[in-house]
Amino acid sequence: MEGPGSALRSAIAHAEPLLRAITAERASAPAAPGKWCPKEVIGHLLDSANNNLARFIRLQSTEDMFFEPYAQEEWVRAQGYADADWRDLVELWALYNRHIARVMDLVLDDARFRPRKEHRPLGSTYASLPAEGIPTLDWLMRDYVEHLKHHLRQIDPACAP
């Protein structure tokens, strides 16, 4: 089975040229009233990258899986992604996620597959939990990749394999 770092690199390699081909005008247009425009979706993915990288690091030295959620709508609004340069956002997204993929590859199996019996309710998830239903860091990293693909599909279904 492909590791989460490899899966993330594959998703980036697939999506990056398609994202770069999107015009600034299209990147600024929401899919529907009240929905994020592609710039804001990529901004949300940057916020997710920021929060999850910290989780991936911290969870290597803990037995539980407790971390604070963040106010996604507020983060997107406060950072003004809708007014940011599209090419800069795409470049930052790709570079940051390549770094995360490298960090994922460095996680030792003991930390990666350790069951986290103590955890907050998981809420929305994108990857299947391990057979026992107990989350692991490996699961969280895979869930991160699936979350990323979910949002890339919102921009354009072709952006995620």
Sequence-ordered list of residues with C-beta below 8 angstroms from that of 129, at least 6 positions apart, any chain = 122, 135, 139
CATH classification of the domain holding 70: 1.20.120.450
Give the pLDDT score at 119. 81
The number of distinct structural domains making up the chain is: 1
Residue 154 and residue 41 in contact, taking contact as beta carbons nearer than 8 Å: yes
Total residue count of the chain as it appears in this document: 161
119 pairs with which residues across the strands?
A: 65
Task: Pick the closest to residue 140 from 55, 58, 72, 69 (CA basis).
Answer: 55
Which domain range does residue 101 map to? 4-159
Tell me the pLDDT of the chain (161 aa) as tens digits. Answer: 689 999 999 999 999 999 999 999 999 999 899 999 999 999 999 999 999 999 999 999 998 888 888 899 999 999 999 999 999 999 999 999 999 999 999 999 999 999 998 887 677 788 988 878 889 999 999 999 999 999 999 999 999 98
